[in-house]
Amino acid sequence: MLEVRNLHATIAGKEILKGINLTVKDGEVHAIMGPNGSGKSTLSAVLTGNPLYEVTDGMAVFNGKNLLEMKPEDRSHEGLFLSFQYPVEIPGVSMTNFMKAAVNAKRAYQGLEPLKAAEFMVLMREKRRLVGMDSNLSRRSVNEGFSGGEKKRNEIFQMAMLEPKLSILDETDSGLDVDAMRIVAEGVNKMHTDETSTIVITHYERLLDMIKPDVVHVLYKGRIVKTAGPELAKEIEQRGYDWIKEEVDAGD
């Protein structure tokens, strides 16, 4: 699914990613944890092609293709999905029209005809049911005036509509309440198949308790410094990051 090797990236001339290695296989769920400012959001931004970041070394292969050479929209059309830590509001654009444009852009990339209006409505209804989203929400402008929980559900809904191969969920460092966590976890669990993979970036052991990742990584100072099973998340919940920082800093 995804193979990242020795990935280095800078923003504004400052090196943030300092040699990331990460292999995600089909059907796997990976969690990336780590102290604030470690480079977690930078990693997701670089993988999805945020132009603010410059890749200075290394490679990333997604489904056999060189990810780093692809335009951001093509990465999405190839099946990469990134959730947003801070979802944007798009006044005047209904959720329905927004999703229609996104779904049909992906179909065009795949050489498929746009969905007919009726087909699209069937798809919308199916996915709305899957994620438990109110039909009123899809008539409103994208994220405008949505509560935190509604934004989360909307994000999961967008993910369901686009049927990504690899989803990267970059969760906020604070303010994700238990209900919002449940929305995210249920969405991830419902959409999970043997052919799809998820990377969840989070501080919350509680979220990982619901998602049950196969692999847990800790990112610190721009590198993945620890990789283990779900028990690592539990250990971090109990002990924090200081013991990991000390191990790494002692080796620097």
Residues that bind ligand ADP (CB under 6 A): 11-12, 14, 16, 34, 36-42
The CA distance from 230 to 216, in Å, is: 6
Q: Which is nearer to ligand ADP, 14 or 116 (CB)?
A: 14
Provide the 10 A C-beta neighbour count for residue 68. Answer: 18
Smallest gap, in angstroms, from Cβ of residue 38 to Mg ion? 8
Of the two residues 157 and 204, which places its CB atom closer to ligand ADP in the complex?
204
**40 vs 100 by CB, closer to ligand ADP:** 40
d(CA 237, CA 235): 5
Closest to ligand ADP by CB, 146 vs 220, is 220
As measured in angstroms, the least distance from the Cβ of 40 to Mg ion is 5
- For residue 113, the minimal CB distance to Mg ion (Å) is 39
Q: Which residue is nearest to Mg ion (CB)?
A: 41
Confirm if 204 and 171 have CB atoms less than 8 A apart: yes
With vertex at residue 196, the alpha carbon angle to CA 193 and CA 197, rounded to the nearest 5 degrees, is: 115
Residue 68 beta carbon to ligand ADP: minimum distance, rounded to whole angstroms: 17
Annotate 184-220 with DSSP letters as a single string: HHHHHHHH--TT-EEEEE-S-HHHHHHH--SEEEEEE
